[in-house]
A = this chain, B = another copy of it.
Amino acid sequence: MIGVVATLTVADGKGADLEAVFADLAAKVKANESGCLMYQLTKSRTEPNVYKVLELYASDEALKHHGSTDYFKAAGPGIGACLGGRPSIEYLDAV
């Protein structure tokens, strides 16, 4: 299994937009990717404008498949438009 923590920092006032775009994406991920065991957007309690996506994939293949889906690619511009800086993606090996 592979864990991912994606840290997204939104521009001021763009939180609601991110949450809307992400809700649509997350619904498609959950409906289509049995190899995605968790895909949860969360909001930091301590850092304003910071969101973290907590993700868990059953395998490398499941993670690669996720990134290759049309709906994931289609959500990119909408998410990008909300961000105030580059996202940071951390990959972790489940043990």
A-side residues, CB < 8 A to B, are 1, 3, 5, 19, 22, 37-38, 40-46, 51-52, 54, 56, 90-95
Contact = CB atoms under 8 A, between A and B. Distances in A.
Nearest to A23: B95
Chain A's interface: helix, strand, loop or mixed, by majority? strand
A45 B5 contact: no
A42 B90 CA distance: 11
B5 A92 contact: no
A92 B54 CA distance: 10
Contact of A40 (B1, B45, B46): B1
Nearest to A52: B92
A92 B47 CA distance: 10
